[in-house]
Amino acid sequence: MSLLDAYPLQHYLLVSAALFALGIFTLVARKNAVAMLMGVELILNSANLNFVAFSRYTVGNFSGHLFAIFVILLAAAEAAVALGIVIGIFQNYGDVDADALDGLKG
Amino acid sequence: MSPTALALVQDLRLFLPEVILVLTTLLVIVLDVTPVRKSHRALLYLTFCGLLLSGIYLLRHYVDLRESGGRASSSNVLLFGNSIALDPFAVYFKGLFLLVGLLTGVLSIRYKKLNPAGEGEYCVLLLCSTLGLFLMVGSRTLLMAYLGLELVSIPSFVLAGFQRDSRLSNEAALKYTIYGAIASGIMLYGMSLLFGLAGSLDFAAIRHALEGQTELRASPLLLSVSMLMILAGFGYKIACVPFHMWCPDVYEGAPTPITAFLSVGPKAAGFGVILRFFYQSLSTHSGGGDWTPIVDQLQWPIVLSVLSVATMTVGNLAAVAQTSLKRLMAYSSIAHAGYLLMGVVVLSKDGIFAILFYLAVYVFMNFGAFLFVVFLHDLVGSEDIEGCRGLGWRAPFPCIAMAICLFSLTGLPPLGGFIGKFYLFLGVIGRELYWLAILGVLNSVVSLVYYARVVKAMFLENIPRGEAEPLPVPFFYSAAFAVLVAPILLLGVYWAPLVKLARYSSSIFGA
């Protein structure tokens, strides 16, 4: 509890904003499908951090914590499905580079 | 039993349509590993039964809501700690989703690319996705909106890539997944900011909190940012302009019945959740079925009307150059998201009503068009406009049905699509947004160019040499086309019952 009180809300928000920016950067800069999924995880966790920090500092109940738990669960489900699809891509293309996927255009 | 447990049981009784969907899903999973699945399409028909049974209970809810006096408190039943609303608005949408689920199943019956061994999984994913649509339109909190959205998304990622050995289907699935994950991530970050600003996840409580904060009303920068981020998630579901890039690729690569599902189900649910969120959280009801934005400096209707124009223009202009029917329908569905957004920006009961009415007609028009794509692939082996050449003389009935669907999508009288568009434009003109109405009409004219190109290929172009003999059309297609086209024709001349239903269902949110 004392550790929490030592830092104001702003610190948490800054860290989460930095995580969000890093996630977006990963998505834009990396072409590897697995790396892009890692970027998505960063974004989801930045939102989680926000939820928990707001819940602890300003709101004062556990609804933010609850939301974060649901997000963690869904992130796991989403990662499982996405990685399954990436395996399918690898079997068909022999590569997981997003640029290699050019069969659909127009 | 404790009072909380008792309340939960009470709520579960009002949650029966969803419970039936869950039970059907479980039953299909169990039967999938027993010998039952070897019999022809048994699991698909079981899915139909589940959807119909759910529909019966939905009808009972509708009748109950009607009898309990229309508007007042009794028709706004809130379930599970105010997180899900059971009102006529939600029931109307759920009815549409059951129809969408059934029609998707019907389209799958003759779709040859689907592996019969995966039929159980296919049905399970379809049912889960339908359940997600149900939760989306009922959601009254940010949490439920997010959960519903993901419950729609995750099964449809798999469905888009259901043909595992097809490169295009895999590519569509990966693109859909990556875009979907990014959109929901950004939406989530926006939701976390809104949660911090308003201190609650409940739509109505968010409005109360925002109304009370004077410093926030003075500088709504953070509120605008969070609103735009949340819009990214909803915009991805309805495929409106900056978030539409996935749409053509996914529609082309996914199995055709799933394309049809994606073009109607998630789009309609997206509009349901947009209406709930924007009308309940970010607007104040000013009496007489009109709303105003909650913060004067945050004129979100203007943002949405610009998006609406951009969406319909991009969709229509890009559709003109397409050669693949599925891609053409993808851009057409983007354009329709633009038309439907016009109903959101007017901030009135008439706008909600017009969206509800149009969506009902849209289900039939779009499924009719995609049934034709399945038909074309089944009998001619093509999914391109090129494959329709001269088909009008070889298989007249399906081609006439397709022409009716396309002209209705354009909005030509005397078809259902015309009436739907008429109400949408009426709402816009009622709010004196003439520029929006003019741009919408111009866009409809552009859309005639590409819809008519398909009709021209079917009826006015020469039949390729050596293929002049008539095509035997299986009874299945004749019957399915008749079922889909009849409502479009009927609604073009006798639309009063649907108007009554949609008007009743649009009286929500205390208006």
Cβ proximity of B292 and B283 under 8 Å = yes
Across the interface, whether the CB atoms of A54 and B185 are under 8 A apart is answered no
Across the interface, whether the CB atoms of A47 and B188 are under 8 A apart is answered yes
Q: Which domain, by its residues, includes A12?
A: 2-96
Which of the four pLDDT bands, split at 50, 70 and 90, describes residue B465?
low
Distance between first and last Cα of chain B: 37
Residues of chain A neighbouring B188 (CB-CB closer than 8 A): 43-44, 47, 71
Classify residue B397: in a domain, yes or no: yes
In A, minimum Cα distance to B252 occurs at A104
Classify residue B11: in a domain, yes or no: no
More confident residue, B215 or B409: B409
pLDDT at B72 over 50: no
Mean pLDDT across the stretch B258-287? 91
Classify residue B196: in a domain, yes or no: no
What pLDDT score was predicted for residue B291? Answer: 83
Of B177, B252, B324, the CB nearest to A85: B177
Residues of chain A neighbouring B199 (CB-CB closer than 8 A): 54, 58-59
Which one-letter DSSP state was computed for residue B433? -
Distance CA B444, CA B315 (A): 11
Digit-coded pLDDT (tens) for B469-510:
788 888 999 999 999 999 999 998 998 999 988 988 887 665
- What is the full DSSP assignment across B294-346? SSTT--HHHHHHHHHHHHHHHHHHHHHT--BHHHHHHHHHHHHHHHHHHHHHT
In B, minimum Cα distance to A27 occurs at B182
Testing the interface with A: which of B83, B178, B250 to mutate, by most A Cβ within 10 A? B178
Distance CA B356, CA B508 (A): 12
Which of the four pLDDT bands, split at 50, 70 and 90, describes residue B73?
very low
Q: List the structure tokens of B414.
A: 């005397």
User: Is any Cβ of chain B less than 8 angstroms from the Cβ of A22?
Assistant: no
C-alpha closest to that of B249 among B149, B185, B180, B155: B180
Which one-letter DSSP state was computed for residue B272? H
Classify residue A102: in a domain, yes or no: no
User: Is any Cβ of chain B less than 8 angstroms from the Cβ of A19?
Assistant: no
Residues of chain A neighbouring B193 (CB-CB closer than 8 A): 50
Distance CA B266, CA B106 (A): 18
Which one-letter DSSP state was computed for residue B115? -
User: Is any Cβ of chain B less than 8 angstroms from the Cβ of A36?
Assistant: yes
Q: How many domains does chain A have?
A: 1
Question: A2: distance to nearest CA of chain B, Å?
Answer: 22
Secondary structure element (H or E) that encloses residue B291, with its range: strand B291-293
In A, minimum Cα distance to B249 occurs at A104
Digit-coded pLDDT (tens) for B366-407:
999 999 999 999 888 888 888 888 888 888 899 999 999 999
Distance CA B137, CA B94 (A): 8
Classify residue B372: in a domain, yes or no: yes
Across the interface, whether the CB atoms of B189 and A46 are under 8 A apart is answered yes
What pLDDT score was predicted for residue A20? Answer: 95
User: Is any Cβ of chain B less than 8 angstroms from the Cβ of A10?
Assistant: no
Secondary structure element (H or E) that encloses residue B86, with its range: strand B84-86
Classify residue B276: in a domain, yes or no: no
Classify residue B73: in a domain, yes or no: no
C-alpha closest to that of B264 among B245, B249, B277, B251: B251
Classify residue B1: in a domain, yes or no: no
Classify residue A104: in a domain, yes or no: no
Q: Which domain, by its residues, includes B343?
A: 306-511
C-alpha closest to that of A88 among B62, B175, B237: B175
What pLDDT score was predicted for residue B114? Answer: 76
Classify residue A91: in a domain, yes or no: yes
- Residue B465's Cβ-count burial label (10 Å; 0-12, 13-18, 19+) is exposed
Across the interface, whether the CB atoms of B171 and A101 are under 8 A apart is answered yes
Question: B177: distance to nearest CA of chain A, Å?
Answer: 6
Strand partners, A32: A97
A45: domain CATH number is: 1.10.287.3510
Distance CA B388, CA B402 (A): 11
What pLDDT score was predicted for residue A2? Answer: 57
pLDDT at B74 over 50: no
Question: A78: distance to nearest CA of chain B, Å?
Answer: 6
Cβ proximity of B365 and B409 under 8 Å = yes
Testing the interface with A: which of B192, B226, B250 to mutate, by most A Cβ within 10 A? B192
Classify residue B19: in a domain, yes or no: no
Distance CA A88, CA B349 (A): 47
pLDDT at A106 over 70: no
Which one-letter DSSP state was computed for residue B390? T
Across the interface, whether the CB atoms of B249 and A84 are under 8 A apart is answered no
Secondary structure element (H or E) that encloses residue B78, with its range: strand B77-79
pLDDT at B7 over 90: no
Testing the interface with A: which of B115, B165, B168, B177 to mutate, by most A Cβ within 10 A? B177
Q: What are phi and psi of A33, to 5 degrees?
A: -60, -40
Q: How many domains does chain B have?
A: 1
Cβ proximity of B15 and B91 under 8 Å = no
What pLDDT score was predicted for residue B484? Answer: 94
Strand partners, B384: B324
In B, minimum Cα distance to A47 occurs at B189
Strand partners, B293: B283
Residues of chain A neighbouring B192 (CB-CB closer than 8 A): 16, 47-48, 50-51, 54, 64, 67
Strands B77-79, B84-86: parallel, antiparallel or unpaired by DSSP?
antiparallel
In A, minimum Cα distance to B324 occurs at A106
Lowest mean pLDDT of A92-106, B78-92, B331-345, B428-442, name the range. Answer: A92-106
Sequence-distant (≥ 6) Cβ neighbours of residue B442 within 8 angstroms:
none
